Amino acid sequence: MNGPYGQSEPIWMDEEVLQKAVEEQFPEDQVGGIANAKGIHFKETLKLRLEYRNILRIDHLLEFTSLVRLDLNNNLIENIEGLDRLVNLTWLNLSFNNIERIKCLDSLRKLELLNLSNNRISVIENMDSLEKLTHFFIANNLLGHMDNVRYLRKFKNLYGINLSGNPVSKEDDYKYLIAAYFPSLVCLDYRLLDKETDAFVESLNGSYLFKSMVRDDPETEALQSVPGVALLLQTYPLLSYEHQMLELCMQLFETGLAEHKRRETEVNSFLNDQTKAVKDSQHKGTQILADFEQKHKERKLELQQLSDPNLLKVKINHCNHEINQLCKSLMALEFHLVSQLEETINIFDIAISDMVGSFNRETVMDALATGHENHLLKINDRETLLVTRASAWKVAFIKGIQDKELKLNRLRISDIHRYLDYLREQLKEFH
């Protein structure tokens, strides 16, 4: 393929190619554009665009230690390599190349976006260090197993994933399974996950489930091949059965949306209670500090007027005692807040667990007790998937709240200790 730079033959990525790429980022109509570019060291370059150049191999990037964005899409690259020094990289585009394996990304710990679409990759692997990854694009590759996609669950900050064009994306339950594995995901295959996805009832407001049951049932297929039977099935029993299934799916669909509203109400109530508890604690802490600071100011003025070393020592000890009492008061307040938040989270956990448990398959299963075993299994699997995704969402939500509160707790305790150290340091002036 001929690139926009005229080369039709593969090229090596050397210093000349890199220097040219850096210079091209400065428009010639800007005063001294090219001259300024030549004066820039590679280590000062923040972005580098090397698309459509028929590059065979990633090389000579050792000096680009400040680089935050690298575009190498639409080349002939076969191996991911030569990126070890790019420790500040947040954006890496390697789409439209000939890459077969994901590797050599260990040093890119700040990476947020990784685009590997349109390559020849069959396994998602060797990405453990990319803890800050928010967007991962691997469309039009050779991923064939949903089990391998589960590898991405370790990336807690993932906002968007694109798996379209892979064999795995052709599976019937692809969208449901992805939503189940990644309850915090916002964008899948460049589409926002909608309200029905949030309620975990996609494609239940129609005959999709019934048609998939019939399509995957070998006995129905064999029966329909008998002359004259297909017409009868379409006209009578199957039509009645489809209508029954449609009603049941719609019932499950409406229940799912209603449960989603109940969960939203419970979440809003929980967040309001949490906010109120924090504000009340902050208000009490502010009062404690205001009272202490007023008295501490008076004690410091008293210290300044004392000349008797023994009396001064007694008063300093008293000040230290008051500081220790302040520490106990603030720590007790923090402990009470943590206990209160833990209780609120536990109550919320129980309430949401009860809601998730309300997705009951008994009504559906009893109504179809006379149906075919394969059909019942399909219904059971779909209901199980719905419950699994709701449960996964609950676990992820609560874990996120707990992690956030733990960080805030540590930050508040650290602030308390810093303030107490500051107070004690002030007292040293009177020794």
Delimit the domains of the chain by residue range.
15-193, 234-430
Give residues with Cβ within 8 angstroms of 243, minimum separation 6.
Answer: none
What pLDDT shows up at residue 25? 77
User: 366 pLDDT band (50/70/90 cuts)?
Assistant: very low
Most confident range (mean pLDDT) of 11-25, 84-98, 411-425 is 84-98
For the structural domain made of 15-193, what CATH number should be given? 3.80.10.10
What pLDDT shows up at residue 220? 45
% of residues, the chain, pLDDT over 70: 68
User: Mean pLDDT across the stretch 201-216?
Assistant: 48
pLDDT at residue 419 tops 70 = yes
pLDDT tens per residue, range 145-188? 888 898 998 898 888 899 999 999 887 667 767 776 776 777 88
What pLDDT shows up at residue 230? 47
User: Mean pLDDT across the stretch 404-411?
Assistant: 84
User: 71 pLDDT band (50/70/90 cuts)?
Assistant: very high
Calpha distance 134→156 (Å, rounded): 8
Query: CA nearest 296: which of 323, 266, 259?
Result: 323
User: 2 pLDDT band (50/70/90 cuts)?
Assistant: very low
Calpha distance 320→332 (Å, rounded): 18
User: Mean pLDDT across the stretch 32-59?
Assistant: 77
The torsion angles phi and psi of 359, rounded to 5 degrees, stand at -70, 95
User: 30 pLDDT band (50/70/90 cuts)?
Assistant: very low
Of residues 90 and 307, the one with the higher pLDDT is: 90
Is the dihedral angle over the CA atoms 79, 85, 87, 91 positive or is it negative? negative
Calpha distance 53→24 (Å, rounded): 13
pLDDT tens per residue, range 273-319? 888 998 999 999 999 999 999 999 999 888 888 888 889 889 999 99
User: 8 pLDDT band (50/70/90 cuts)?
Assistant: low
Rounded to two decimals, the pTM is 0.51
What is residue 44's DSSP assignment?
A: G
The torsion angles phi and psi of 192, rounded to 5 degrees, stand at -70, 135
User: 426 pLDDT band (50/70/90 cuts)?
Assistant: confident
User: Mean pLDDT across the stretch 315-333?
Assistant: 92
Calpha distance 424→418 (Å, rounded): 10
161's tokens:
């994933």
